[in-house]
């Protein structure tokens, strides 16, 4: 992925993940691996943690300590900033 230098990388990754949820590529209950996503996007884990923290705050994902982060069963009502 080529990042837009005018926006934070974690925000752009968040947009991609939201888009994947909306298109059904990531279905409810799908586990999001920070390690795998960090490798996919070529960013460090801190950047991925910022993206997952924001996704959790916006209720796109849930995190269970010791188990990981998963796509939420119910998606947020508000529209995201992800480009369609």
Determine, yes or no, domain membership for 54.
yes
Mean pLDDT for the stretch of residues 66-73: 95
Confidence class of residue 83 from pLDDT cuts 50, 70 and 90? very low
Q: Which CATH number fits the domain that encloses residue 28? A: 1.10.10.10
The count of structural domains within the chain is 1
How far from 15 is each of 19, 21, 37, 64, 66, CA to CA, in Å? 6, 10, 13, 22, 26
| Residue 48 near residue 37 (C-beta atoms within 8 A) | yes
Confidence class of residue 75 from pLDDT cuts 50, 70 and 90? confident
- pLDDT, tens digit, 9 for 90 and up, residues 3-50: 999 999 999 999 999 999 999 999 999 999 999 999 999 999 999 999
Residues in the chain: 84
What is residue 78's predicted lDDT score, i.e. its pLDDT? 56
Report field, pTM of the whole predicted structure over 0.75: yes
What are the tokens at 43?
């960013």
**What residue numbers bound the domain in which 24 lies?**
9-71
């Amino acid at each position: 992925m080529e990042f837009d230098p005018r926006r934070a990388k974690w925000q752009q990754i968040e947009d991609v993940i939201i888009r994947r949820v909306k298109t059904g590529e990531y279905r409810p209950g799908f586990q999001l691996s920070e390690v795998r996503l960090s490798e996919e996007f070529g960013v460090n884990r801190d950047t991925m943690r910022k993206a997952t923290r924001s996704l959790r705050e916006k209720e796109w994902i849930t995190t269970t300590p010791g188990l990981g982060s998963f796509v939420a069963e119910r998606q947020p009502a508000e529209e995201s900033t992800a480009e369609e």
